[in-house]
Amino acid sequence: MRNLILGASGQIGTEIHRILSKNGEDVVATSLSGSSKRKIGALDITEFSSVEKIIAEYKPDIVFNAAAFTMADQAESPDGIRQALLINAAAGTFLAKCCARRCVKLVHFSSSYVFDGRLDRPYCEKDHPNPISVYGSSKLAGDIGVLNASDRHLLIRTCGVYGQAAIERGNGSFVEAILRKIESGIDFGVITTQKSNLAYAADVAEAVIDLAKGGGGIVNFANSGCATWFDFASWIRKEIGSGAYPFQIGHYNSAAARPCNGELDLSRAAIVAPHQLRPWQDALADYLANRKRA
Ligand SMILES: NC(=O)c1ccc[n+]([C@@H]2O[C@H](COP(=O)([O-])OP(=O)(O)OC[C@H]3O[C@@H](n4cnc5c(N)ncnc54)[C@H](OP(=O)(O)O)[C@@H]3O)[C@@H](O)[C@H]2O)c1
């Protein structure tokens, strides 16, 4: 199997690259900047001719698209709107069509931010999206492009991703932001009004590589269980044995609106995925024990 990874320096892409390489698979890994040290080539997915060229020349069996504009707050600025739409919507759609034309399977990642968060139950794959941010709208436009291009394409919706690459890239994750703040000892507020799943990038990558061998369509994927951001922060503080308790219930004034209910219904994954993701507490404990500082 020939595997092309886009966004191979990101949280999920790094783990897909690591697992496929460890398994001795034929892999070409790319990201926007590239990294010769990590054997990642430079490829801008918004340069459509370069995308077409690499697919024509490498002839992958499968493309993992973990490349995205993921900065939800920055996506609200005029330049952010342009970039989010170009990278998440236009490039995702072009890639999906390009793969479909050449009978290449695409595995594309999306977000719970395509929903407005007003439902009083977890969101399943068939629920109607209604994004409340530019980032969510750009991801939804990409999702539509991917699903319209081919029934074989697999669309993974996830949320609350954290992984080692965020430390190396310096762009953080919720988990790293909380760790930094706890260590600094400076008071901060964490919200109780939004809940979500968490997704450990290494767990998602491993399961998605297996799932990619099956059919297409949308599958929600995250570690099992759900909590508010305040509960996650409290759990992290306890797990690292910090005596400090610098945070209280607070507000998060962000440029992008976020769904209050970001919980994904994981029951389809339980049916179609070869193995299930462990509870978020187990995954997070593993990450905290093994994370390496940059
Ligand atoms: N982070 C979350 O909490 C979260 C939640 C739900 C869903 N998701 C989705 O999951 C997927 C992976 O997210 P992540 O957190 O792993 O991403 P990430 O860590 O932010 O990494 C983004 C990746 O995209 C690459 N990239 C950005 N612009 C590009 C361009 N124009 N051309 C080529 N590559 C480009 C980056 O390359 P460089 O390093 O070279 O810049 C990097 O490899 C995305 O689809 C995201 O929307 C993420």
Q: How confident is the model at residue 211 (pLDDT cuts 50, 70, 90)?
A: very high
Rounded to whole angstroms, the Cα distance separating 94 from 70 reads 19
Structure tokens at 1: 């199997």
Instruction: Output the pLDDT for position 207.
Output: 96
Residue count of the chain:
294
Relative to the CA of 9, which ligand 1 atom is closest?
Answer: 43
d(CA 87, CA 90): 6
Residue 252 CB neighbours (<10 A): 12
User: Edge-to-edge, what's the strand order for the sheet holding 195-196?
Assistant: 227-228, 195-196, 261-262
- For ligand 1, atom 2, the nearest C-alpha belongs to 161
pLDDT of 274 reads 80
Domain ranges of the chain: 2-167+198-224+264-278
CA of 77 from ligand 1 middle (Å) equals: 18
**Which residue's CA is the closest to the ligand 1 atom numbered 34?**
32
Mean pLDDT of 4-14: 98
Looking at the predicted structure, is the pLDDT value of residue 282 above 70? yes
> For residue range 133-181, what is the model confidence (pLDDT) as tens digits?
999 999 999 999 999 999 999 999 999 999 999 998 776 799 999 898 8
136: helix, strand or coil? helix
Nearest protein Cα to ligand 1, atom 10 = 109
pLDDT average, residue stretch 227-256: 81
Confidence label for 247 from pLDDT (cuts 50, 70 and 90): low
Report pLDDT for 183.
84
Query: What is the four-CA torsion angle of 100, 102, 104, 109, rounded to 10 degrees?
Result: -40
Tell me: domain 2-167+198-224+264-278, CATH 3.40.50.10320, correct?
no
Mutational pocket test of ligand 1: of 70, 110, 162, the residue with most ligand atoms within 8 Å of the beta carbon: 70
pLDDT of residue 249: 66
